[in-house]
Amino acid sequence: MKDTEEYHVILFDSVHHALRSEKILKEMGIPHKLIPVPRHISSDCGICLRFAAHLRNRINGALKGRVEIREIRVLE
């Protein structure tokens, strides 16, 4: 049986916020990946930030007060 890791995504109101988040997390050495927003989440074009679920509190703390986050969702 394969061990599958759960991922979450952060949705932003602008690409600027997504890119700013990527820069902050990269500087802090926190693993993440920018991906297109999945169609089942939104039909809007755009990018979101994917990360392992166990990093949620760490990422929340790193971005709090520095970047506007629209929503954090479980990636299904």
**Does residue 60 carry a pLDDT above 70?**
yes
CATH fold for the domain made of 7-75: Alpha-Beta Plaits (3.30.70)
The token pair at 17 is: 């916020």
Name the 3-class secondary structure at 55. Answer: helix
Average predicted confidence (pLDDT) for the chain: 92
If pLDDT is split at 50, 70 and 90, which confidence band does 43 have? low
> Is 11 strand, coil or helix?
strand
Measured N-to-C along each axis, helices 56-63 and 15-28 cross at an angle, to the nearest 10 degrees, of 110
Say what the pTM is.
0.87
Place of tokens 């993440």: 32
Q: What does the domain layout of the chain look like in residue ranges?
A: 7-75
The CA-atom distances, in angstroms, between 34 and each of 1, 19, 48, 57 are 28, 8, 6, 18
Terminal C-alpha separation, the chain: 19
